[in-house]
Amino acid sequence: MSGAAASDVPELTLRAVTVRFAGLLALDAVGFTVAPGTIHAVIGPNGAGKSTCFNVLSGVYRAERGSVRLGAHDLTRLPPHRIAGLGLARTFQNIVLTRGTVADNLMLGRHVLTRSGFAATALRLPRVVREQRRHRERAREIAEFMHLGAVFDTPVALLPYGMRKRVEMARALCMEPRVLLLDEPVAGMNAEERARTSDAIASIRASLGISIVLVEHDMGLVMRIADAVTVLDFGRRIASGTPAEVRRDPAVIRAYLGTGDEGDEGEAGGRHDPSGHGDRSESHEESR
Ligand SMILES: Nc1ncnc2c1ncn2[C@@H]1O[C@H](COP(=O)(O)OP(=O)(O)OP(=O)(O)O)[C@@H](O)[C@H]1O
């Protein structure tokens, strides 16, 4: 499937981003760069600041200090719809679609790109009908690409959980983003759904050439598909590099296992093995 030309995908850069909630430093001068066309994972134990980072990138939270840039554009003070309009689409961790068919949900994603105004749409002018048809064709193409072609006209409520999460990803792709933010895309999935979604993410990068920023607790997935990893702990960037580099970084191992003192592991709830051999995805399965 065709997507953004590689030259269209700009670098995404966070510089010294600081976010504070009533005195708590959720992000403390965090910076990293997402190279065009790469999968960049942001990992870290619970409460490390990953979601806050995503919310700053998508304009939901505003940085107290620092900046976010997408190529020539300064996103730091822009509202979410302007950021989306510049080509940054996101999925949400806890949203499970329940309404409409797959096609309806994907067409919502096309809404950002629709030119016709309310009156023209209500009057069903020929050019509006043509535009709608074009959007629907593209939505179907994206559905096929995400292995959802067979259920294009099926109500999402009838689909299994893993497929609904893929519909959400397809909806974000329907915005024709240059950067896709995926917030825990495999949380709650069983092993088969995880494998399918992981393949889908890898083919988005390979076929569309867009950048992907990924927050994920499933270390196996991160180690398999990420090109670069930024590790946060208590709001600070403690490491960055390739998956192989960060998995053997002593600061990362300490962060995931607690202080390193014996018997400390139990207390460090939510701290997991960054090696990718044991991950907490099993607990997600239990929680479904
Ligand atoms: N809206 C908010 N108001 C107050 N504190 C917040 C808010 N959002 C996040 N925090 C706090 O900021 C810190 C970072 O939270 P954040 O959700 O970004 O971490 P996380 O790495 O995404 O964690 P998890 O893996 O559990 O989702 C935590 O201490 C959290 O309690």
Residue 27 CA: nearest ligand 1 atom is 14
Say how many domains are in the chain. 2
Assess if residue 110 is contained within a domain.
yes
Determine the Cα angle at 190 with ends 187 and 195, to 5°.
Answer: 85
| Paired residues of 185 in beta bridges | none
Least Cα distance to 231 among 98, 77, 78, 32 occurs for 32
Residue 62 lies in a domain: yes
CB 235 within 8 A of CB 27: yes
- What domain range includes position 113? 94-176
Q: Are residues 288 and 228 in the same domain?
A: yes
Domain membership of residue 20 (yes or no) is: yes
User: Contact 276/198 with Cβ under 8 angstroms?
Assistant: no
- Asked if residue 21 belongs to a domain, the reply is yes
Quick one: 83 and 107 in the same domain? no
User: Contact, 157 vs 96, CB < 8 A?
Assistant: no
Do 193 and 288 lie in one domain? The reply is yes
| pLDDT reading at 263 higher than 50 | no
**How many whole angstroms from 216 Cα to the centroid of ligand 1?**
15
Q: Model-level pTM greater than 0.95?
A: no
Give the residue from 130, 148, 176 where a domain finishes: 176
With respect to residue 2, please indicate whether it lies within any of the assigned structural domains.
no
Which atom of ligand 1 lies at the shortest distance from residue 93's CA? 27
Q: Is 261 inside a domain boundary?
A: yes
What mean pLDDT do residues 45-69 have?
Answer: 95
Q: How far apart are the CA of 230 and the centre of ligand 1, in A?
A: 17
Q: Which position has the higher pLDDT, 58 or 286? A: 58
Residues 100 and 213 in one domain: no
CA distance 150 to 143: 9
Of 143, 176, 209, the residue that ends a domain is 176
pLDDT digits (tens, 9 = 90+) for 64-83: 999 999 999 999 999 999 99
Is 82 in the same domain as 213? yes
Q: How confident is the model at residue 278 (pLDDT cuts 50, 70, 90)?
A: very low
Alpha carbon 181 to chain centroid distance?
3
Which of the listed residues 27, 50, 58 should we mutate to test ligand 1's pocket, taking the one with most ligand atoms within 8 A of CB?
Answer: 50
Query: Which band of pLDDT confidence, cut at 50, 70 and 90, is reported for residue 275?
Result: low
The rounded Å distance from CA 178 to ligand 1 centre is 27
CATH number of the domain enclosing 35: 3.40.50.300
Same domain, residue pair 21 and 74: yes
Query: Are residue 76 and residue 45 in the same domain, yes or no?
Result: yes
Task: Give the tokens for residue 105.
Answer: 């949900």
Nearest Cα neighbor of 76 from 9, 10, 13, 11 is 13
* 153 lies in the same domain as 270: no
* 1 part of a folded domain: no
Distance from the CA of 24 to the center of ligand 1, in angstroms?
A: 10
- End-to-end distance of the chain based on CA atoms, in angstroms? 33
Pocket of ligand 1 (CB under 6 A): 21, 24, 26, 44, 46-52
Q: How confident is the model at residue 103 (pLDDT cuts 50, 70, 90)?
A: very high
Place of tokens 């719809």: 81
| 63 and 51 part of one domain | yes
Instruction: Look at residues 176, 205, 229 and tell me which one is the last residue of a structural domain.
Output: 176
Residues 186-233 pLDDT 10s:
988 899 999 989 999 999 999 988 999 999 989 899 999 999 999 999
On whether both 172 and 116 belong to a single domain, the answer is yes
Report the pLDDT averaged over residues 92-109.
Answer: 82
Whose CA is closest to atom 17 on ligand 1? 51
Instruction: Tell me which residue has its CA closest to atom 23 in ligand 1.
Output: 47
C-alpha span between 66 and 287 (Å, rounded): 37
> Within this chain, do residues 160 and 258 fall inside the same structural domain, yes or no?
no
More confident residue, 27 or 97: 27
Residue 274, pLDDT > 80, answer: no
Q: Classify residue 115: in a domain, yes or no.
A: yes
Instruction: Determine the atom of ligand 1 nearest the C-alpha atom of 54.
Output: 18
Based on the fold, state whether residues 72 and 52 are members of the same structural domain. Answer: yes
